Structure 1
Amino acid sequence: MVATETLSKYSTWHHPYTPAKEFNKRTAYFSMEFAIHQGLKIYSGGLGFLAGSHMRSAYDLKQNIVGIGMLWKYGYYDQGRNKDQTLQTNSIEKNYNFLEDTGLEVEVEINGNSSVKVRAMVLRPDTFRSAPIYLLTTDVEGNDYLSRTITDYLYDANEQTRVAQSIVLGIGGAKIVELLGGTDVYHLNEGHALPAFYYLRDRGIKKSQMVFTTHTPEKGGNEERDGYHLNHFGFFGRTLSEPELQKEMVNGNMINYTISALRMAKKANAVSKLHAKVSKAMWNGHGGANKIIPITNAQNLEFWQDKDFQKAWKKKDTKAFVKRKIALKKELFELVLDQTGKLFDPKILTIVWARRFAGYKRADLLLYDMQRFQNILKNQNYPVQIIWAGKPYPMDFSAIDTFNHLVSFSKNVSNLAVLTGYEIELSKKLKTGSDVWLNTPRITREASGTSGMTAAMNGSVNLTTNDGWIPEFAKDEKNSFVLPELEHTLPIEEQDKLDSQHLYAVLEDKVLPIYYEKPEVWQEIVFQAITDVVPEFTSERMARQYYKELY
């Protein structure tokens, strides 16, 4: 009887609260990844962290929204080490006893197979205090082996599997929403679920009901594939005629997911004010660029901020704040010791660079001028400790080379460490246990960069290029340290050289002297950063803004 009640309760559009009047419009939020909890490994990085915080704040605000995502059998990957400490990618099956089978099952057509079964599991709202999230899987009895593997790996390296994943999330997700009773708004968080828009358009869903978020100016994040191949594969929910297909294609015979979503959506948003300008310039002339508004990404304060930091900040209690920071540095340094065999000192200024490894983010910028870097590492008056962490995409061999180079370089240097296992819990430890959060993307390449927000919430001061969300937040030497802004059209070699020189200078002339010689000024910067990040860069503001300006 209990099982039947549970099935009935969560196989209909259901929230454990009566939606607030201002947030009563039904919305389905499609995302390839959600980072809700360390124990639910269905995310890779920033996109998932953002979506997870959104769902948490939707719950807090009693919004009438549900998430539509994917139940990845092996997650993204588990990050380990080879014998020489270099990166090892492990695929380990995941099982979650807290997800419930809704009993909802639909079929989608993929590459001529018209009966691929898609089943929806649900993450109940009361499990992790989030809006309900329906997670789709093809690992279903009755599917053939190939079909069952579609939902194995987040961002599968096989191109055909990636297309199949988009069909499952988009069309499978849209069909699940229909079984839930439909919705007023369909929101695609990035272009992965684009097939939903094509399917819905054919079903008579109006343009006014479709909205879209673009997350990156990077080519890899704006997928583009051959239109004829996608048509044959079932991407559009039916086979388009030649004239219909020609209307959808750009750049020759290509379907650009972002351009198609912009054309079909009523409205779209970029994820920072700077990113909105960059996006409009990128997509100008393709149709839809004029719809792009800025809704800056943010993170959930309740989930990310240490409660003792919060109390000390509200009281402006420097002594309590510093005591807590020392304690959390010690916790982080236990992990450093466990992974690397190095004893770090909580009294020493600790810099962390931690995020997805990608070329434009420049994890190794500190190593650009080895002599200057060595001078900083060996300065006894202003000692420093540096930690790197992050997951390269398992097929991004350049990023893996950078990760492994840092491992090799730092292996025998006592005040450097590279950590593995960069997921939610390690991210929290690095933010609460660091003094400086280093952010080094080439300008205009980082759409938002929310890790700096949660770092600031926890007393880790941003040292950063002026990219993404930073222009909306930073007051140099007041709440952060910002490198002089370069002209982004410069050759990347020149950008890297100049930014590295500026980085060394800011460390030598500002960050380190202030930390060691003017601790009261340092603490003022820490408190000011928290004041300026809360509430403007919390996902409560963001979730409100989505309802007001996009839905």
Structure 2
Amino acid sequence: MSGSFLPKPFSHAYEIDPKFSKSAVYFSCEFAIDQIFKIYSGGLGFLAGSHMRSAAALRQNLCGIGMLWTYGYYDQARGEEREMAVQFRKKQYAFLQDTGIKFQVPVHGHPVWVKAMFLPGDIFGTVPMFFLTTDLEENDHLSRAITHRLYDNDPLRRIAQYIILGAGGARLLEELGVDPEVWHLNEAHGLSAAFRVFERTGSVDEVKKRFVFTTHTPEEAGNEKHDFKLLHDFTFFGNTPMDTVRGITGIDGEVFNHSLAALRLSHLSNAVSKLHGDVSRKMWEHYPNICPITHVTNAQNARFWKDKGIEGSRLEGDIETLKTRKRELKAQLFQTVANQTGKLFNPDALTIVWARRFAGYKRPDLITRDIRLFRSLVNNNERPVQIIWAGKPYP
């Protein structure tokens, strides 16, 4: 279609809106586009997936680059004693198209073959998207395993994954013959792309002109860090010498802070809520030469996530129909709960659900910290309250 910065046959399936004609690429380690496409783990992916849907609805000149995880995050099951069981099952996606594009990316000085698969926008209503895999016959086992598991527990493999996403994504754009005006990093996982651009342009100003950065982590200690020399030995910085990396990122010492480097190599960053913006600006205020940090509140694509029955009733002011539809959906949820736990929930009772990726910093126990208040809630027979905890921890 007219206005797309991507070459055929990968161009956008819609006419680009002139308001959004600026070309952009969005790097993310995970995308929650649809439940059948299991390349995500949590909120970072849901934000990215909805971003791809909304960008298409707005007819933006944007594409996405992610990773094709052979085994996804993992499949959560139950063992014989109903304990959580972790299963890694190989995934296959017939809706992805082979681009025919293969190239090599150095990882720890070793050339690794990378193939790009393509997701046309009309499959799930997204912008055009590319997914990178190293699980190829041309590679040895270690290289193939780079794109096996999302957020692999092996820290060295995680570094390799970030190289494939960032430097590999940048290399893909070179293969496509495009250089988008905006390079958007959803967290700093794809940061190695910035060093690829620096090598190509020889100018840190050219890097900053292109890059923007979404930061998610509300605690400085939670931002990913690695040994500087380890990253250099892994070819994370490409062919850029360590002294040059220190010069353009302003990071001295032995530890490389990925988020700090992203803040210094971008011209703009955004937090994911107004409060998070305040927290982030305060968290980084003691570090010089970082880009401005604004905020864009996290959201989800309404067209995909809203139930049509509930939304229609809401717009018509039909409260009774809305309540009936909500009760139907609760009953469906409670069937799933009963199937997994053997517990029957009351669809007419107020139900509080905590359902997230299970991690301590997400505070799943928050509602129980005032134990007397908690007991008064769950033991009130006149106004019954029932609570569901659900989550997926790191395997």
In the superposition, the TM-score normalised over structure 2's length comes to 0.93
Pick from 173, 178, 181 the counterpart of residue 174 of structure 2.
178
Indicate the residue corresponding to 2:45 in structure 1. Answer: 48
Alpha-carbon distance between aligned partners in 2 of 1:17 and 1:10, rounded to the nearest angstrom = 14
Residue type of the alignment partner of 2:23: R
Residue type of the alignment partner of 2:146: I
**Deviation of the 1:260 alpha carbon:** 0.6
* Paired residue secondary structure (1:149): helix
Indicate the residue corresponding to 2:141 in structure 1. Answer: 145
Alpha-carbon distance between aligned partners in 2 of 1:162 and 1:220, rounded to the nearest angstrom = 18
Is residue 2:110 matched to residue 1:109?
Answer: no
Compared with structure 1, are the counterparts of its residues 167 and 244 closer, same or farther at alpha carbon in structure 2 (3 Å cutoff)?
closer
Indicate the residue corresponding to 2:33 in structure 1. Answer: 36
Q: Which runs of 5+ in 2 are unaligned?
A: 1-5
**Deviation of the 1:244 alpha carbon:** 4.3
- Given that residues 279 and 289 in structure 1 are in contact (C-alpha distance below 8 angstroms), is that contact kept between their aligned partners in structure 2? no
Residue type of the alignment partner of 1:163: I
Is residue 2:378 matched to residue 1:382?
Answer: no
Compared with structure 1, are the counterparts of its residues 244 and 388 closer, same or farther at alpha carbon in structure 2 (3 Å cutoff)?
closer
Indicate the residue corresponding to 2:255 in structure 1. Answer: 254
**Deviation of the 1:10 alpha carbon:** 7.7
Pick from 18, 23, 28 the counterpart of residue 21 of structure 1.
18
**Deviation of the 1:371 alpha carbon:** 5.1
- Which whole-Å deviations, capped at 9, do the CAs of 1:202-248 have from their partners, x for residues lacking one? 21144211111111124575211111111111001115144644664
Pick from 123, 129, 137 the counterpart of residue 127 of structure 1.
123
- Which whole-Å deviations, capped at 9, do the CAs of 1:241-285 have from their partners, x for residues lacking one? 446446646363111111111111111111111111111111123
Higher helix share: 1
Residue type of the alignment partner of 1:222: N
Alpha-carbon distance between aligned partners in 2 of 1:98 and 1:14, rounded to the nearest angstrom = 17
Indicate the residue corresponding to 2:312 in structure 1. Answer: 311
Q: How does 1:148-159 map to 2 (within 5 A)?
A: 148-159=144-155
* Paired residue secondary structure (1:150): helix
- Given that residues 207 and 265 in structure 2 are in contact (C-alpha distance below 8 angstroms), is that contact kept between their aligned partners in structure 1? no
Compared with structure 1, are the counterparts of its residues 186 and 149 closer, same or farther at alpha carbon in structure 2 (3 Å cutoff)?
same
- Deviates further, 45-54 or 80-89: 80-89
Alpha-carbon distance between aligned partners in 1 of 2:270 and 2:219, rounded to the nearest angstrom = 16
Alpha-carbon distance between aligned partners in 2 of 1:245 and 1:152, rounded to the nearest angstrom = 32
Compared with structure 1, are the counterparts of its residues 214 and 372 closer, same or farther at alpha carbon in structure 2 (3 Å cutoff)?
closer
Indicate the residue corresponding to 1:77 in structure 2. Answer: 74
Alpha-carbon distance between aligned partners in 1 of 2:13 and 2:286, rounded to the nearest angstrom = 45
- Given that residues 227 and 245 in structure 1 are in contact (C-alpha distance below 8 angstroms), is that contact kept between their aligned partners in structure 2? no
**Deviation of the 1:82 alpha carbon:** 2.5
TM superposition outliers: structure 1 runs of 4+ over 6 Å? none
- Given that residues 105 and 117 in structure 1 are in contact (C-alpha distance below 8 angstroms), is that contact kept between their aligned partners in structure 2? yes
- Given that residues 174 and 196 in structure 1 are in contact (C-alpha distance below 8 angstroms), is that contact kept between their aligned partners in structure 2? yes
Alpha-carbon distance between aligned partners in 1 of 2:288 and 2:74, rounded to the nearest angstrom = 37
Alpha-carbon distance between aligned partners in 1 of 2:313 and 2:367, rounded to the nearest angstrom = 33
Indicate the residue corresponding to 1:354 in structure 2. Answer: 355
Residue type of the alignment partner of 1:175: R
**Deviation of the 1:17 alpha carbon:** 1.1
Alpha-carbon distance between aligned partners in 2 of 1:244 and 1:279, rounded to the nearest angstrom = 24
In the superposition, the TM-score normalised over structure 1's length comes to 0.67
Indicate the residue corresponding to 1:161 in structure 2. Answer: 157
**Deviation of the 1:367 alpha carbon:** 3.3
Pick from 183, 188, 191 the counterpart of residue 185 of structure 2.
188
Alpha-carbon distance between aligned partners in 2 of 1:212 and 1:246, rounded to the nearest angstrom = 20
Q: How does 1:291-370 map to 2 (within 5 A)?
A: 291-370=292-371
Residue type of the alignment partner of 1:156: D
Residue type of the alignment partner of 1:104: I
Q: Which runs of 5+ in 1 are unaligned?
A: 1-8, 395-551
Query: What root-mean-square deviation, in Å, do the aligned CA atoms of Structure 1 and Structure 2 show?
Result: 1.8
**Deviation of the 1:368 alpha carbon:** 3.4
Compared with structure 1, are the counterparts of its residues 219 and 292 closer, same or farther at alpha carbon in structure 2 (3 Å cutoff)?
closer
Identity within the alignment, %: 49
**Deviation of the 1:138 alpha carbon:** 0.3
